Amino acid sequence: MSEAPGQAAASPSTPASAPQRPAPPQVIRREDYCPPAFGIDRVELRFELDEDVSTVHATLALRRAPGAAAAAPLVLDGEGLVLRSVAIDGRTLGPEAYAQDAATLTIAAVPDVFELRTVVEIRPQDNTELTGLYRSSGNYCTQCEAEGFRRITFFLDRPDVMARYRVTLAADRTRYPVLLANGNRVAAGELPGGRHFATWDDPFPKPSYLFALVAGDLRCHAGEFTTASGRRVRLEIWVEPENIDRCEHALRSLQRAMLWDEQRFGREYDLDIYMIVAVSDFNMGAMENKGLNIFNAKYVLARPDTATDDDYEAIEKVIAHEYFHNWTGNRVTCRDWFQLTLKEGLTVFRDHWFSADMGSPAVTRIAEVLALRTAQFAEDSGPMAHPIRPESYVEMNNFYTATVYEKGSEVIGMLRTLLGDAGFRRGMDLYFERHDGQAVTCDDFRAALADANGRDLEQFGRWYSQVGTPVLRARTTHDPATGRFTLRLEQAPPLAAGAGREAAPLLHIPVAMGLLAPDGSSLPLQLVGEAAASPGETRVLELREQAQSFEFVGVQEAPAVSLLRGFSAPVELDYPRSDDELARLMGADPDAFARWDAGQELARRVLLRLCDDAVAGRELVIDERLVTACGRVLADPRLDGSLKALALTLPNERILGQHQTIVAVEGLHRARQFVVRALAEALQGPLRAIYSETAPRGPYAITQPEIDRRRLHNLALGYLAALGDDASVALAVAQFKDADNMSDSQEALACLIEVGGPVREAGLAEFHARWRGDALVLDKWFTLQAVSGHPDTLERVLALAHHPDFTLANPNRTRALLASFGLRNQFHFHDASGRGYQLLADKVCELDPHNPHVAARLVSAFNNWRRFDSGRQAAMHAQLQRIAGLPGLSRSTQEIVARALV
Ligand code: BES
Ligand code: ZN
């Protein structure tokens, strides 16, 4: 039985007079899960790849599932397939024996055990949706997760149907010299007519979403890895010929990830070959297909002159993430798509840990929390709010969200905190031991962790169904006479309206904390009734009730409380404390994350006050405490350059807006611009000194000290350039001219864009002339202009949408301009004229028929429309209605728009 009956065709057009409401969508619910009525043991596929029509021959060994109804028909998923023939056990079926609609093929009467053969035709060259089998730069490739395999052949396209695959590809030898699929290559040879073939066999049973093939003219950068048990694995990075000199970093990243998973989790790779293919047209970042990852080229290709430090780090992370899926996702997979966080939350957690081990744990953690707060907290307080294990969906592709990924990872992180590293490892070992080769649920995962540790994780399980960002309220009292210090913790449901305030069940929340004496030293942490203080300067309190009080003894002077060290739970902290207490934490907290967080809170308060001043038309005056605090950070010899840069980067306008009932678009922008300039003026001396001290001393190197140096160098440049004086602008111009690497070049250009005028035009023209033939670098050119704060950014973006190099056909290019603008540039996207909204909506309408998945992501820029003033609300609402009324709107975009309009 098919789990996800797709929708036949998009809804018919709505009459002009009717309210512009999308038709009720087909909802898939978690509670409706039924095991499949048939299993598939073996799959044999033969692809005849051709310029016009490609043919897919499928042979499936099927058997009725034990316990399934004896008369149940076979219902296969299939979309956009031209059926040529269907046969059971060698007998071709007549048309009366089966029925095909837009989403399924139903065969009424089938034996209990049988072989099904189908032949279908598809047209990969016309596939603009980029799921299923499609073409990119003239090469064939696939993307099957979540439900793309049904666009290739008729199948039980659901993750709990796991089968062994043998795949033969046949294609023209000259145009497609390279033929790849999952597993090991077992045969290859010539065919008549200038064609050739290759056969691949994957010994590991897998769900269809992990199927992949690639055919094209590609070059290979190869390497090797020897596993802990001594098996030699061949590693291959496949790219278009001109990119062969940009693969080494990806290869090294893969080797590091393989070693790390052995050392940290005892997990070895299981095939003799691991291939990664880089393609230019890809909806997502990368895909973990068994033995044959397919990547957005952005997350593979790196050369110092084309990729920034951030790009290098992102590549390492994404390569590791897809590699880690081999165990968390492939060997143990999801029973159904509601369990997505089982593999994605867990694998994000693993790639975070890996990144922390490879670079700086503090910097990694800060970046994660920043991403969580910016994207996930916003999602959790808007119309797309959902639990990390959603209860329902219309289009699964819409649920690859910050919540499932980032909050999902935080939930695993809390388990690690509660169980400790050794306990967590025991739990993971038991999980793999119990479930290797199975399709399982989040509950199975939690049970393995609980059983391995003899712990009750029942209450903890509520994190899987909880919606919205919970509030952690903290209040303290101190009695100097008795030396008692009381910390009262309370949990409250999310602040966001409609998130189910009344019904919120009590969560199990780990709160890592410490106490600081007025001199900044850490205090011993001993609770009343305990014989001694707990070891170390941090302890984890477990909040399980609605409110709990923790009474510490031996606290003579009023301490500063450091709460949520390392951001031990994905909550919003409500703890009113003085600016002085924040300043104390900022300077002395032993936890680097908590230091940074205290600084961000201080800056946020200053910015929000200034925003109020700006809105009220009062004069803006910089708070000296912020200047002093930033000056101290700059001068602190204990902090590396990356940490200084993070500490001195003010909270972005989107995060600030989350702390207002109605986002004050202009006020926030003015306040932030003002503080940047005020800090730059006040700290000019140290900033100039730092800029020259951190100047490059040799050729580019991608080492941690060099990355730290560049980050601080470019942070200083950014502040100085904000002054706009000739000397500072000259620094940016010189850096842009002299840079031997993309980090320094891009940051200099970003500064020139803010400065505006002739230096901006010259810089942009030069960058464009140099990189126009390099799609990934040209994307940066679009993005830098789209995220700029310069007053004429909206005009720019409107013009860039008509630039000859702009195209909606390539997802990276679309995102470089439009997602950057709509999702990252709060001030200009929300221009009071509404022209930003108009542009985005126009492009969504234009893109939706070709690539609904990317269109649905873009349209989510309107999700928080209720958080703005009435004029902006009306303008966004009108655009949403216009999109909703579009004839033939895709299921993907329709779902997002419908939720936004509810
Ligand atoms: N399995 C996903 C890729 C995917 C997502 C395919 C949605 C189809 C639909 C992959 O493992 C993934 O999560 N990729 C991320 C990057 C990762 C480092 C978080 C992506 O593509 O953004
Ligand atoms: Zn993933």
pLDDT tens digits, one per residue of 152-164: 999 999 999 999 9
Cα dihedral sign for 675, 680, 681, 685?
positive
- pLDDT at position 504: 81
88 beta partners:
91, 116
Checking if the pLDDT of 310 tops 60, the result is: yes
Mutational pocket test of ligand 1: of 131, 282, 284, the residue with most ligand atoms within 8 Å of the beta carbon: 284
- pLDDT at position 502: 58
Nearest CA to ligand 1 atom 7: 400
Distance 321 CA to ligand 2 centre (A): 6
Total Cβ atoms within 10 A of residue 360: 18
CA 318 to ligand 1: nearest atom: 18
Mutational pocket test of ligand 1: of 147, 319, 400, 409, the residue with most ligand atoms within 8 Å of the beta carbon: 400
- Give me the catalytic one of 316, 322, 368, 581: 322
Is 706 considered catalytic here? no
pLDDT category of residue 4 using cuts at 50, 70 and 90: very low
Checking if the pLDDT of 497 tops 90, the result is: no
Nearest CA to ligand 1 atom 20: 285
pTM: 0.97
Checking if the pLDDT of 17 tops 70, the result is: no
The C-alpha torsion from 701 through 706 and 708 to 712, rounded to 10°, is -100
Distance 114 CA to ligand 2 centre (A): 35
- Give residues (CB < 6 A) around ligand 1: 145-146, 284-288, 317-318, 321-322, 325, 344, 348, 397, 400, 405
- pLDDT at position 496: 64
Q: Mean pLDDT throughout 698-705?
A: 96
pLDDT category of residue 407 using cuts at 50, 70 and 90: very high
Nearest CA to ligand 1 atom 2: 287
Checking if the pLDDT of 532 tops 60, the result is: yes
Distances (CA, A) of 896 to 131, 811, 838, 866, 899: 19, 19, 18, 15, 5
Burial of 632 (0-12, 13-18, 19+ CB in 10 A): middle
d(CA 285, CA 282): 7
Residue among 198, 160, 163 nearest 177 (CA): 198
Mutational pocket test of ligand 1: of 313, 322, 333, the residue with most ligand atoms within 8 Å of the beta carbon: 322
Checking if the pLDDT of 499 tops 80, the result is: no
Checking if the pLDDT of 19 tops 60, the result is: no
Checking if the pLDDT of 3 tops 70, the result is: no
The sheet with strand 98-100 has its strands ordered as 74-77, 104-107, 98-100
CA 325 to ligand 1: nearest atom: 11
Task: Please give the mean pLDDT across all residues of the chain.
Answer: 96
- pLDDT at position 24: 64
d(CA 44, CA 166): 5
Asked if 634 and 683 count as a contact pair (C-beta separation under 8 A), the reply is: yes
Distance 597 CA to ligand 2 centre (A): 28
Report cis status (omega within 30 of 0) of the bond before 146: yes
Closest ligand to the CA of 320: 1
Q: Mean pLDDT throughout 298-306?
A: 98
pLDDT category of residue 888 using cuts at 50, 70 and 90: very high
Distance 143 CA to ligand 2 centre (A): 13
Checking if the pLDDT of 9 tops 50, the result is: no
- pLDDT at position 605: 97
Nearest CA to ligand 1 atom 21: 285
Distance 428 CA to ligand 1 centre (A): 22
Chain centroid offset of residue 839 CA:
25
Checking if the pLDDT of 22 tops 50, the result is: no
- Lowest mean pLDDT across 13-27, 78-92, 628-642, 777-791: 13-27
Residues 6+ apart with CB under 8 A from 79: 6, 102, 103, 150, 151
pLDDT category of residue 583 using cuts at 50, 70 and 90: confident
Checking if the pLDDT of 190 tops 50, the result is: yes
- pLDDT at position 495: 78
Checking if the pLDDT of 5 tops 50, the result is: no
Nearest CA to ligand 1 atom 22: 285
Cα R_g (the chain), whole angstroms? 28
Q: Mean pLDDT throughout 586-614?
A: 97
Closest ligand to the CA of 159: 1
Distance 146 CA to ligand 2 centre (A): 12
Asked if 160 and 336 count as a contact pair (C-beta separation under 8 A), the reply is: yes
SS3 503: coil
Total Cβ atoms within 10 A of residue 115: 15
Higher model confidence: residue 500 or residue 331? Answer: 331
Asked if 36 and 158 count as a contact pair (C-beta separation under 8 A), the reply is: yes
CA 348 to ligand 1: nearest atom: 19
d(CA 463, CA 105): 39
Asked if 274 and 199 count as a contact pair (C-beta separation under 8 A), the reply is: no
Q: Which amino acid is at 868?
A: F
- pLDDT at position 580: 86
Residues 6+ apart with CB under 8 A from 187: 168, 197, 198, 199
